[in-house]
Amino acid sequence: MPDLGDADLTMDAASLYREEIFTDHKLGTIRQLVPITREAAADPSRPAVFIGQAQIVTPGGLLPISFEIEATTLADAVRNFGPAAKAALEDTVRELQELRRQAASSLVIPEPGAASSILAPGGMTPGGGKVRLR
């Protein structure tokens, strides 16, 4: 577990957002992060941020994906949801393929002495550690 003793857990009062959630109950969700002041008033000096969320069905189960949507209004975010989701899905598929490639090409190197502990008396080999060929 990481040591949190030195972690700075102070919120930045100059970067606060109010979150609003919109969904069509079919394809996904759009989170609109509305910039606010520390007094919770709207902060027009900063732009709103739109985050799309969707789930893809995979052989391993549901895979959630989140992605930023280039938009200045909710209507723009709804219009741009599909292309942004498609781009995020393509990125996710590329990352998964790379992880599979890395996993397939990785070498498993046993720790020193691991083989001798398996073959030692009382180890996993039947017959008190002797290997028998028939």
**1-15, 27-41, 58-72: the lowest-pLDDT one:** 1-15
Does residue 125 carry a pLDDT above 80? no
**What pLDDT score was predicted for residue 8?**
85
Residue 23 has pLDDT above 90, yes or no: yes
Average pLDDT, the chain: 85
pLDDT in tens, 86-105: 999 999 989 989 988 888 88
- pLDDT at residue 124, as a whole number: 55
At 127 the pLDDT is: 52
**Half-sphere exposure of residue 5, counting CA atoms within 13 Å on the CB side?**
1
2-16, 34-48, 88-102, 112-126: lowest mean pLDDT where? 112-126
Of the chain, the percentage scoring pLDDT greater than 70 comes to: 78
Instruction: Name the pTM for this structure.
Output: 0.69
Specify the pLDDT at position 120.
55
Pairwise pLDDT comparison (30 vs 61), residue with the higher score:
30
- Three-state SS at 100: helix
- Model pLDDT, residue 71: 97
